[in-house]
Amino acid sequence: MQKKYLMIIKKMIIRTNMKCKVSNIKIKPFMSFGKMPMANGFLKKKNFKKEFFYELEVGFCPKNFLFQINDHPKSPKIFNNEYPFFTGKSDHMTKHFANFFNWMGRNDYLKKSSNCIEIGSNDGTFLHNFKKKISMRQDLNLLKT
């Protein structure tokens, strides 16, 4: 029994080289979930041994109050030909973004000169609502992965 707990503790050992993604200051991680596989991998049995794992460890930056994971997989590891979810395939998310867009219009947040950056959607679902209201520039790449 004691051996079992030692193995669990070893998996939860926290590294100390964490830096805030925004302020770049050193922060102390406070929890490790150990090695985790990618969500929605849907691997075939023959590929189980090739499964990609990453260290899921979290910390908190007191300067900007950002809760964050220490190290995350690069985009090609997450979004690939096998990736199963696109925001536009979710009726709930599509309606949510349309309702939010309409709310912004009713509350005078949208002008012809407005700028919008979509963060967190992987297929432009939120931006589709803006096409007729404001001019859009879709060739801007703000974050290189």
pLDDT value at position 143?
Answer: 45
- Cβ neighbour number for residue 63 with a 10 Å cutoff: 10
Encode pLDDT of 22-44 as tens digits: 899 998 888 888 888 877 777 88
52, 73 contact by CB (below 8 A): yes
- Cβ neighbour number for residue 24 with a 10 Å cutoff: 9
Distance CA 144, CA 142 (A): 7
* Selected residue with higher pLDDT from 5 and 47: 47
CA distances from 98 to 107, 119, 126, 128, 140 (A): 14, 16, 7, 9, 23
| Type of residue numbered 52 | F
For the segment 71-99, the average pLDDT, to the nearest whole number, is 80
* Selected residue with higher pLDDT from 78 and 48: 48
Strand-pairing partners, residue 32, are 57
Distance CA 120, CA 141 (A): 14
pLDDT at 145 over 50: no
Distance CA 12, CA 32 (A): 5
